[in-house]
Amino acid sequence: MTSTDTGSTNDTAASGPPDGGGKPGRRNAIVTTLIAGVAAVAAAAVPLLVRSDPPHPPTDPCDLDRLTGFWAQPPSERHNEALLADHRTPRVYTRVSTDSNPEVSVRGRLNLDVPAGQVLYMVRRPDPGTRDQEGNPGNGRYYPVAPVTPTSRGCWEDDARPIGYPGAKGIGQIYLLVLVGQDRAASFANDRTARDWDGYNPDQWSASNSISVLSFPVSSA
């Protein structure tokens, strides 16, 4: 086989440094030391980059204690103690974005045995005592949002749901969790798809025969 090696005894790689920077062996030792130092620094930094959060506390299945940043508890809440399985006060945390049409995220925990034939439903009501960026007050109507199905540990959540329209910032929301019959829950879903539907006024809402489980305010100001 014909060799393709074109090297020679005058190859630059085999000669001394062209700039007269010292013996090759000494310079190579310096370079090796520098590389080793950089590698050590990089190795020390890797754990900082890949470090994960500690395991979830086993005593708090909803991890509500781990919520940080912009998560906050509502200033007040009302609940139907007679309906709660362990009579413990429900826990709720909310987070509101800073957009002109803010998005509200909610996480909570309540131990509720939903009766057969009933549906736990989340409802929102724009607070008539608050105003949007144009000075318009909340309309005070009731807007069923979606069914809520807590986990076996009582956890529930609703993520990044817009308040309603650009410029709505400032309108407070009153959140409600209610029990309704399955037929009524189905009518909520149908009504939401109707053209020009705009929630229920207080009289219409009273006719829904809902049972309040939990309510709390959320500010978007």
Collapsed DSSP state (helix, strand, coil) of residue 15 = coil
In a domain, 177, yes or no: yes
**pTM, two decimal places:** 0.70
In a domain, 88, yes or no: yes
Task: Give me the numbers of helices (H) and strands (E) for the chain, helices first please.
Answer: 3, 8
Are 43 and 129 found together in one domain?
no
Position 25 scores a pLDDT of 52
How is residue 99 written in tokens?
């957009």
Are 38 and 95 found together in one domain?
no
Are 185 and 211 found together in one domain?
yes
Q: At residue 19, does pLDDT exceed 80?
A: no
- For the sheet containing 78-79, what is the strand order? 78-79, 211-218, 173-181, 118-126, 143-147
In a domain, 184, yes or no: yes
Are 184 and 78 found together in one domain?
yes
Are 174 and 204 found together in one domain?
yes
Are 197 and 98 found together in one domain?
yes
Q: What is the pLDDT of residues 21-55, one digit of tens each?
A: 344 454 444 444 444 454 444 444 444 444 344 33
Could you tell me where the beta strands, DSSP code E, fall in 60-172?
78-79, 91-96, 103-109, 118-126, 143-147, 155-162
Collapsed DSSP state (helix, strand, coil) of residue 206 = helix
Are 40 and 144 found together in one domain?
no
Are 90 and 193 found together in one domain?
yes
- Rounded to an integer, what distance in angstroms lies between the CA atom of residue 123 and that of residue 200? 11
How is residue 1 written in tokens?
């086989």
In a domain, 3, yes or no: no
Identify the domain containing residue 37 by its residue range: 12-50
Q: At residue 153, does pLDDT exceed 90?
A: no
- Domain count for the chain, please give it: 2
Are 26 and 118 found together in one domain?
no
In a domain, 56, yes or no: no
Position 84 scores a pLDDT of 85
- Rounded to an integer, what distance in angstroms lies between the CA atom of residue 66 and that of residue 81? 26
